[in-house]
Structure formats: structure tokens, C-alpha cells
Structure 1
């Protein structure tokens, strides 16, 4: 199998995996409210996914429920946007559009979305804990601030992808200049 064929095949597979990840990103937060038992099992492996107890989230009503839902969806929406561009980049690779500015632009947008989502997640967690407990009596209100290794890793990966996209953008510009001389 030639390197070009490998790139095209793996990129096509990764584009489909991105699509699955997009569906998961958009579906996870609504899943918390629609299927409490399945959500409990999904959340149990990591407290960073939902910063407050699931029972507290599921007891919310009205405007408080809406505000918490939107707060939890913002990082997911940002990551979905980034995954959409990552998918588009993989599709460009699958169609042999490797060294093109449009392809590199998708990587740059993904990296910015990853950085943004990494910074928004702890903020959303803090706001969620505030919004969930704000109607409680004094002494029972809480603000939870949490950072984990996942955020640090995501931040540095996003920064790495951003730098790589800049370097690749420069390489594509040089490649285009060299083609114009011949």
C-alpha cells in the first residue's frame, strides 16, 4: 500500500470517527436529563464531565434547568465546531488535498476550538455549580472549581496543533512560491 493510499484510507476512517464524536458531543448533555441511569454510568468514571452530583442536575426546574443546560452545552458546542473542522481536514486529506491553505485552515480552527473548549470547561463547571446551588439557603450554596490533567493535556495539545498549523501554513506558502518559479 502506497503512503498516499494509507493517508487517504486512514483519513477517511478518521473523518467518520469525527462524525461519531460530534454526535456524542451533542448528545451527552441531553442524555443526562433523558436517561438518568445511563447518564449515571457514563459520568461515574470521571467527575470532570459533570461538576455537580447528577441528582442535583436532575432535580432542577424551569429557568434554572435551562441556564444550567446551556452552560453545560457551551463547551460541547465549541468542541463540536472544532471536530467538524477536523473532519473537514481529514476529508481534504482523503481527497488528496494535503498541502493546501484550506486544509491547513481546518487544522487551525480545530486547534483554536480545542484551546477554547479547554478554557471554557472549568468555567462552565464553576458556573454550573453556582447555578445549581444558587436557590439553596445560605450555607448550602457552593462554587466548585476544578482543573485536572485532562485540561492541561488538552491545552498543550491545542497549542501544539496551532503551532503546527502555522508551520504548515508557511510550508504551503513556500511550496506555492516554488511552484510559481517553475
Structure 2
């Protein structure tokens, strides 16, 4: 095995573990807002598109608003975690030396679609959340807040780039398979 292949396998294995850690962090983020409010209040900026309102407003929710806001916040997290799971599977394939295989490239394609979806869902979830949190307030205090940042623009372009790369790699794998069948 070449030195380059060994590096690919080693780094891919490390990245697969980092993906699993990222999934755990992503899925724990929203529950932490309610379970550890002081940490959430200090660590989350409400200028973020996912948090268009202050965390203190979330902590006073009761009744139907609490599960509705929780589910709304979890949707982008679940979509990104699904994508990270496929990215993890791609890295695991690379670690097994399954580099030029359709299944491995398919995981990259699914990750890129999940990244694009999460990037589009996060501001929408933030907008829905702002409506859900303020809907019971008196008229004039209700709000619809949408936040967009450079992070969303960067993620959108990165997701698009990775989708194109996955298509190109898929074509390369098809050509590789055709060439192998002739030999």
C-alpha cells in the first residue's frame, strides 16, 4: 500500500470519528438550551439564524409552544445529523480502501444534499420559531424574524460544490468500472 493510501485511510478513520462526535453535539444542542439555560444564554447569540429571539424567551414557554418550538429547532439538526452520518459512512468507506465505489460516492452526494437542505431549513425554522414564541402575545408584540448570515451563504455554496463533486466522482467511478471490465 502506498504512503498516500495509508494517509487517506488514517485521516478518513479520524474524520469518521469526528463526524460521530459532531452528530452527538448537533443532537444535544437544542436540549441543552432547556437543560442548561445559563450555558445556552452565555453561548448562543440570538443574531444566529437559528436563534432569532433571545434564549430567555424560550425558557418561559409553556403548553403547546414548548414542544412546537423544540420540534421546529430540531428539524435542521436532524437533517444535518443525517448528512453527517452519511459523511461518516463515506469516510469509513475510504478507510476500508473503498475509494472508487458508487456506494462511497453516494454517501458524499447525500451529505451534500443534507447540507443544502439544512442551510435552507435553518432560517425557515428560525422564522417559524419566532412566530411560535410570540403568537400568544398581544397584538403589536408578535414577530416574524428571519436571520441570514455569511455562514448560510458559505454553506449553500459548499453544499453545491460538494454535490457537483459527487456527480463528477460518480462519473469517474462509472468510467473506472468500464475500463476495468475491458481489461
Q: Report the TM-score range of the alignment, normalised by the length of the smaller protein.
A: over 0.9
Contact 1:118-1:155 within 8 A present in 2 as well = yes
| 1:55-94 matches, cutoff 5 A | 55-94=56-95
Q: Report what 1:54 is aligned to.
A: 55
Q: Report what 2:144 is aligned to.
A: 143
- How far apart, in 2, do the equivalents of 1:149 and 1:44 lie? 15
Contact 2:48-2:147 within 8 A present in 1 as well = no
Q: Which residues of structure 2 form unaligned runs of 5+?
A: none
Instruction: Return the offset for 1:46.
Output: 5.7
Q: Report what 1:126 is aligned to.
A: 127
- How far apart, in 1, do the equivalents of 2:34 and 2:130 lie? 16
Q: Report what 1:163 is aligned to.
A: 164
TM-score, length of structure 1 as denominator length: 0.97
- How far apart, in 2, do the equivalents of 1:114 and 1:55 lie? 29
- How far apart, in 2, do the equivalents of 1:47 and 1:20 lie? 22
- How far apart, in 1, do the equivalents of 2:78 and 2:53 lie? 20
Aligned pair count reads: 182
The answer to whether residue 115 in structure 2 is matched with residue 114 in structure 1 is yes
Instruction: Return the offset for 1:51.
Output: 1.5
- How far apart, in 1, do the equivalents of 2:47 and 2:89 lie? 30
- How far apart, in 1, do the equivalents of 2:155 and 2:48 lie? 17
Q: Report what 1:14 is aligned to.
A: 15
Shift of the 43–20 alpha-carbon distance from structure 1 to 2, 3 Å rule, reads same
Shift of the 46–95 alpha-carbon distance from structure 1 to 2, 3 Å rule, reads farther
- How far apart, in 1, do the equivalents of 2:141 and 2:177 lie? 62
- How far apart, in 1, do the equivalents of 2:175 and 2:48 lie? 46
User: Larger deviation: 42-51 or 83-92?
Assistant: 42-51
- 2:141 aligns to what SS in structure 1? coil
Q: Report what 1:2 is aligned to.
A: 3
TM-score, length of structure 2 as denominator length: 0.97
